[in-house]
Chain A
Amino acid sequence: MLASVAYPVLRFLSPPEVPEDTSLTVSAGKASSLLPNSGRLVPFSAEPAIVVRLAGGELRAFTAVCTHLSCTVQYRDDLQQIWCACHNGHYDLNGRNVSGPPPRPLTPYTVNVKDDEIVISRTT
């Protein structure tokens, strides 16, 4: 009898799976408005992504979710690094974790520019 009460309650407490947006590409805004040595956060499915224009003009994109405890990272123009404010984690512009507690690199995305529109995409 206990199980007949507990089972539905426990099942109720467990959240159901909700289908996720699994888009493989997303538009990340105008390329011309992203200045050299700056970064931009954009929504990519359910998570944020970061697009960085290097000082030399090259565009790179990564997931913006820190591999340490999932805070959202940002671009630091003074360090020319990607930085997580939560626990002071640093990534270089290849997404590699270079100092602080992050255990893994940021996942890179492919960047293309079409008619001044930045399009980032992930590989399946």
Chain B
Amino acid sequence: MALRAWLLERTPLASIEEAVAHKSVPRHRYSVFYFLGGMTLFFFCVQVVTGALLLLYYRPSATEAYESVGFIMTRVPFGWLVRSVHAWSANLMIGAAFAHLFSVIYVHAYRPPRELTWVSGLLVFFITFAFGFSGYLLPWNELAFFATRVGTNMAGVVPGIGDSIVHFMRGGKDVSGATLTRFFGVHVAILPAITTALLAMHLVLVQYHGMSVPPSEEARVKQTGKAGPSMPFAPHFVLRDLFGWTVALALLAALSAFMPWELGRKADAFAAAPAGIRPEWYFLWMFQALKYAPATVLGVSGEFLVLIPVNLGVVALILLPFLDRNTPRSRRVIKGLATLALIFMIAMTALALLEKAP
């Protein structure tokens, strides 16, 4: 108690306690969506901890990266587990982030006054992909090498400045040790710094505005004239969140222990791309779309034709709160477009997974 009194004198603990005591979370049939953001945050925390541990042994150079990951997996006690947890958690984090994003779209939680919450969250979502892309190269294996070559090469289709962007991303003309060092710096310093700032902003805004209630629930409350049911944030919601995190941890532990992440073969710049090569599951839909795209259409390259709608989709997503006129029709259109995008991504991913290597 003496410590509490000491803290009360020196920190805004009393006002934080007051805010938490009065904070409540709405209860309705979509309440389960409220846990997806916390789940993503949980996996992010796992990434920070396991990433920091891997840094103690990882060596970011073309001659040592693969060997150092091999050393972590075979010689360092529980190194295989730490690396496996890091790799699996990255995938689960992206899965949770996807679910969080689509749930927010489906319940229109981006509506005013939550525009900044939406934009900050969306930027963190895109950065998560940058984390995945940069981290994928770090073990310096065959798959990572070609995935990076293809991924960076795609930036080359930007008219006028494409080659400069590719050169900048790779740290040279081709994917090399310079790319690895560059990606390492981005993965462990630049992206975490940006993410921390954006995530802090996102979480503060979530607390400031409270949980968004879907328009259908809002209409029901308006119709009945009675406030909808809610639950206290502490301990009811917190305990449910902790239960979800425990389940997530159990899933992560099971995947990491029973399906440890493989290292593959060391990257060789002069070897052929292996048959059956494909990127991580979250890039598969675009990878498959690139396969189907014709070489050129009316003089425009196929990859450019794939990337244009993707980039327009990204811009539309960022502007979503400003594009939604907050009418039932506008909401139906947005839900329909989101569903179409989801079906396209799932179908392309399924086609890529079903395709057999020759």
Contacts and interface: CB of A to CB of B under 8 A. Distances in A.
A86 B174 contact: no
Nearest to A86: B273
B140 to A, nearest CB: 16
Residue among A43, A69, A88 with the highest chain B CB neighbour number at 10 A: A69
Contact of B290 (A18, A42, A64, A101): A101
Contacts of A85: 272-277, 357
Given A72-B272, A87-B291, A88-B291, A20 B277 contact: no
Contact of B149 (A14, A70, A76, A101): A70
- By CB atoms of chain B within 10 A, which of A73, A87, A97 has the most? A87
B296 A103 contact: yes
B6 to A, nearest CB: 41
A116 interface: no
A39 B130 CA distance: 36
Contacts of A69: 149-150, 153-154, 290, 303
B178, B269, B270: residue with the most chain A Cβ atoms closer than 10 Å: B270
A73 B270 CA distance: 10
Contacts of B277: 71, 85-86
A88 B293 CA distance: 11
A48 B7 CA distance: 65
B57 interface: no
A32 B263 CA distance: 36
B354 to A, nearest CB: 14
Interface stretch (B165-173, B233-241, B309-317): B165-173
Nearest to A79: B358
A15 to B, nearest CB: 5
Nearest to B175: A70
Contacts of B296: 103
Interface string A77-105: 01000001111100000000100111100
Nearest to B302: A101
Contact of B171 (A15, A43, A47, A70): A15
A23 to B, nearest CB: 14
A13 interface: yes
A102 B276 CA distance: 18
Interface residues of A, number: 31
A63 interface: no
B171 A71 contact: no
Contacts of A102: 295
Contact of B174 (A42, A47, A78): A47
A84 B273 contact: yes
A43 B272 CA distance: 11
Contacts of A103: 295-296, 301-302
B166 to A, nearest CB: 9
Contacts of A37: none
Given A101-B303, A103-B296, A71 B291 contact: no
B135 to A, nearest CB: 20
B54 to A, nearest CB: 25
26 contacts: A14-B168, A15-B171, A15-B172, A15-B182, A20-B173, A41-B271, A46-B174, A47-B174, A48-B270, A69-B154, A69-B303, A70-B153, A71-B146, A74-B272, A78-B358, A84-B273, A85-B272, A85-B273, A85-B274, A85-B277, A86-B146, A86-B150, A87-B290, A88-B291, A101-B290, A103-B296
Given A15-B172, A71-B149, A103-B295, 19 more contacts: A13-B168, A18-B172, A41-B272, A43-B269, A43-B270, A69-B153, A69-B290, A70-B150, A70-B174, A72-B146, A85-B273, A85-B357, A86-B146, A86-B150, A87-B291, A97-B295, A101-B290, A101-B293, A101-B303
Interface of A: 13-15, 18, 20, 41-43, 46-48, 64, 68-74, 76, 78, 84-88, 97, 100-103
Interface of B: 146, 149-150, 153-154, 167-168, 170-174, 178, 182, 269-277, 287, 290-291, 293-296, 301-303, 357-358
4 closest A-B pairs (Cβ-Cβ)?
A: A74-B272, A103-B295, A71-B273, A85-B273
